[in-house]
Structure 1
């Protein structure tokens, strides 16, 4: 899949650098040429000889290589690749990228390139969770840098948590997605997912049983077809999808703000199970039960995100897809919801307890469109997501034509 593609691989100085030996091998197996660049610190973890032997090309590491710089080598290196991959992207490298520093070959290449950039972060869990790292990640995401990983797991330092570099095959899959054109390449799609938590007091909240599994699968399926995906998720129980822009929220009001900030998009898929109501005034302290009286909760209606986006006068997505989780009269209720909200499609399902769908691994949906109701057979949520993503690609293609 990567024949005639060239990857500029910048290897940062972290223990995860050893994984780059396998990454180079996997990329070359798929036909890609790999030009390796190593930071000074990277050579403390893997040898340039090993990297060069696997890449079949010399390792570049010196910004002041007189032979190369006579021909402005750092500029040429930054421009000839189809994709720049930084793996591992250490906290230091991410900070340099976010701040626009250019004090060695790797950072100078990243500043000089007009080629798409992908990073595979790797660092200690505390470093990853530090506000500075998260700020830098947000800056890089805003600059259009793609991110793969990090994963949760054991670390060389003995700690456990997010910060492990994505595995070589995960990075290869992300590279393939970035360098091969799918039917949604160039399209920007918004996906909402998961439940929302509406606070009652600092320790209690109103929620629902949504796991976020179907929304996550949809984001992954759209990504695999080439879309740029903005994934706005409530506190879901499943892992976040890789290779998409993830925006974490808690409440319906926060989800609305994130959705509106993500516009414009070509399509919006509103799979989140957004709470219809919230407590009008959440208590600032824990509600105690020693008063002898039951608490009285006054409710307020949450914003209707699907209807608001579907009825926008300006900036409405070309395709707006809503979801309807019903327990009876599924088609009738979903059809009425489509008319009421003003969206193009509704994906409806029966979430009665006996179906095992809400929180389960399978789904059985009915697609409601202007043409009527189309029942799909029960299948794994990933299969449902792929079928929906393909239909979205077809619809956007027809709209463009």
Structure 2
């Protein structure tokens, strides 16, 4: 049986990845098994990128992804197409239980990564696997694995960590504010930090990194596979999860995360899906208000990822235009929050104390679209 074009060669990585040390124990070619990796034990793995002659590729600089898998899991086929189901069933094993996935820097062909093995492992002793995939700054690739390790048991680590992960949530980008605007296809961003590391094994019941939309608990979104740790830092990481075809109106997402000691944290974010054809700017304000020396304007719009021409016109209570602020912005999200004003008129003269009104207009030259706010009030109080 053939898949694809048999005349094309497969795109195998050019280089191999070699494991040299685990917890300072050197790995040799005739090693039967390296050290045993136990739950809640801090692990350090060292290795290098090798050419076909098993020599270090000293000009390989980039990143490597390291994945640790628990022992193989036994599965049985269902044999649905046969009347005598039992005789046609077949047993097979798959090594799919991920215990850790992290990223490390590769410098001059060498790498090292440190992490703590989670509490949620199969405590029976058996052969695990380390899987590697590396890519250099000039897009050369390397891959490999090491399966001469035993995983099982507990290290007896009695760490007094009773705190769950710190969670930060945003929609589309880090400029998002709680309750802000999105379109119907936003991206949920999560940033996590924990002194011991984040549990993404999916082995312990209910211990997944997960999200719940609008309190619908039976439709949990499992985020384990979307989580990526920071480079050379197992304590921090993030995920990006794309949502689609959301209804207009307010929505809520609750994210649940566990650390490797199974301490739990939760975080909620709310957002408002708006009509992309709505012409009105939302959540328009200036802060501080009242102000004496300077204030900053912020607002939300439905023109993301565009070059925007912004005009803020400020009027006296009699309707006289006293200041016109012009600004150009490239909007990566749905919020502008960095247009400052020092309380002077168009001639640089400080305006007197009192109440003023303002209106904001936003124009997209690319699509010839205008959005504008209602009139808002500000107060100068020196």
TM over 0.5: no
Compare the two structures and name the one with the higher strand fraction.
2
- The structure with the largest alpha-carbon Rg is 2
Compare the two structures and name the one with the higher helix fraction.
1
Give the TM-score normalised by the residue count of structure 2: 0.27
Bigger RCO of structures 1 and 2 (CA < 8 A, at least 6 apart): 2
